[in-house]
């Protein structure tokens, strides 16, 4: 299931879905890692968010 295609058929802009997904992912990760946050987490998080928003890397084709 392609989330963006499904949302587009309902009139939701694909950029809104990407932004919502990225912000939700970030909030959940930061909440989860509040007590034990590895030094490299924020760098990895930024990299993953860039990939998500640009449909590349590990996130290519997910949305």
Q: pLDDT tens, 5-59? A: 777 788 888 788 878 888 888 888 888 887 787 888 888 888 888 888 887 877 7
Mapped to the 3 state alphabet, what secondary structure does the chain carry?
CCHHHHHHHCCCCHHHHHHHHHHHHHHHHHHHCCCCCCCCHHHHHHHHHHHHHCCCHHHCCCC
Is the pLDDT reported for residue 1 higher than 60?
Answer: no
Is the pLDDT reported for residue 60 higher than 80?
Answer: no
59 C-beta neighbours (distance < 10 Å), count: 19
pLDDT value, residue 62: 67
pLDDT value, residue 63: 63
């Amino acid at each position: 299931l392609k989330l963006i295609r499904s949302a587009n058929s309902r009139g939701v802009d694909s950029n809104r879905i990407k932004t919502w997904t990225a912000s939700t992912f970030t909030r959940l990760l930061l909440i989860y890692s509040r007590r034990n946050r590895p030094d490299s987490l924020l760098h990895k998080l930024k990299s993953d968010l860039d990939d998500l928003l640009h449909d590349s890397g590990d996130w290519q084709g997910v949305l």
